[in-house]
């Protein structure tokens, strides 16, 4: 489950109640409910980076839904051996590797009882995901095949000459700056990192940094993170989400 509902209000719990009502034996796992309100790109990033750690066949329910109450479609998608249930608003962009199959949820076929125009997590997405996860509903019967999907552009890092220009896409609890520079975009050349007017080293582990020192390293999601050993890089550098990070090739002494 990935939503922007927050944990203070009872919305996540009510959605779970509506799910367990249809499928009492479900195992429910919270990925995060603290996505910034209506922030599709943060949700899309984490979904793309997270889903593969779950067992194949897992149903991933994503409700970040600024268009609730409008005509935006409700989708179920089968891709990469996983299922995804979400609004058609681009939040699935990072997982739509071809071949995939997308279907539009059919409220009648699903016997949904849609009682609100504001809480489709409870009334549509949650129950559909529950039925799908419980195997009581084959994927082919959630509704008609549909295509294409609304796309947002997930920002991606790009090489410009000798510089890989990336963006901070998330700042975690520890103050680590998580960028969209991917492992596959790095080559074997030595790089230095520039952000906020500073130059930082690239290291292999936190332990190569002195306590309080900042550096960049390949993080646990195959993207580069800027971290501060025993400290908070975001606070230390005064850098947050959306900031630019530049990786520059260093001329090797030869």
Residues that bind its own copies (CB under 8 A): 2, 4-14, 16-18, 20-21, 24, 27-34, 37-38, 46, 49-50, 53-55, 58, 66-70, 115-119, 122-123, 170, 172-174, 204-207, 217-220, 225, 227, 230
Residues in the chain: 254
Q: Closer to its own copies at the Cβ: 113 or 144?
A: 113
Cβ(138)–Cβ(111) below 8 Å: no
Helices and strands: H and E segment counts in the chain? 5, 13
- Could you tell me the smallest distance in angstroms from the CB atom of residue 153 to its own copies? 19
CB of 253 to its own copies, least distance (A): 27
Q: Phi-psi bin for 238: left (phi > 0), alpha (psi -120 to 50), beta?
A: left
Q: Which is nearer to its own copies, 143 or 215 (CB)?
A: 215
Closer of 87 and 219 to its own copies (Cβ): 219
Local structure of 54: helix, strand or coil: coil
Nearest to 231 by CA among 209, 247, 203: 209
125: DSSP letter: I
> Measuring CA to CA, how many Å separate 236 from each of 53, 194, 253?
31, 14, 31
- For residue 131, the SS3 value is helix
Report which of 157, 230, 252, 153 is spatially closest to residue 195, judged by C-alpha positions.
157
Cβ neighbours of residue 231 under 8 Å, at least 6 residues apart? 175, 211, 212, 214
**Closer residue to its own copies (CB): 103 or 176:** 176
Smallest separation, CB 171 to its own copies (Å) = 9
Q: From the CB of 30, what's the least distance to its own copies, in Å?
A: 5
Give 116 or 199: the residue with its C-beta nearer to its own copies.
Answer: 116
Taking the C-alpha atoms of residue 146 and residue 148, their distance in angstroms, rounded to an integer, is: 7
Q: Which of 13/242 has CB closer to its own copies?
A: 13
Minimum distance from residue 6 beta carbon to its own copies (Å):
4
Q: Closest separation between CB of residue 150 and its own copies, Å?
A: 16
Nearer Cβ to its own copies (163/232)? 232
Tell the smallest beta-carbon distance from residue 75 to its own copies (Å): 19
| Nearest-angstrom CA–CA distance, 25 and 182 | 38
């Amino acid at each position: 489950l990935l939503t922007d509902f927050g944990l203070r209000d009872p919305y996540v719990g009510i959605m779970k109640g509506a799910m367990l009502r249809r499928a009492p034996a479900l195992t429910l796992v919270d990925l995060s409910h603290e996505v910034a309100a209506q922030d599709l790109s943060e949700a899309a990033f984490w979904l793309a980076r997270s889903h593969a750690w779950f067992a194949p066949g897992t149903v991933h329910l994503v409700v970040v839904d600024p268009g609730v109450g409008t005509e935006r479609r409700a989708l179920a998608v089968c891709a990469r051996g996983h299922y995804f249930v979400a609004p058609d608003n681009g939040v699935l962009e990072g997982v739509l590797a071809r071949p995939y199959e997308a279907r539009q949820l059919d409220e009648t076929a699903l016997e949904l009882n849609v009682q609100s125009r504001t809480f489709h997590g409870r009334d549509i997405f949650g129950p559909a995901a529950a039925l799908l996860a419980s195997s009581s509903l084959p994927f082919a019967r959630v509704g008609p095949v549909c295509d294409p999907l609304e796309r947002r552009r997930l920002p991606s890092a790009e090489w410009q000459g000798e510089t890989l220009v990336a963006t901070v896409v998330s700042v975690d609890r520890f103050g680590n700056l998580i960028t969209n520079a991917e492992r596959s975009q790095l080559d074997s050349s030595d790089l230095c990192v520039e952000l906020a007017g500073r130059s930082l080293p690239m290291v292999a582990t936190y332990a190569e940094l002195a306590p309080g020192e900042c550096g960049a390293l390949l993080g646990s999601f195959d993207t580069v993170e800027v971290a501060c050993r025993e400290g908070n890089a975001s606070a230390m550098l005064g850098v947050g989400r959306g900031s630019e990070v530049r990786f520059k090739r260093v001329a090797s002494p030869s």
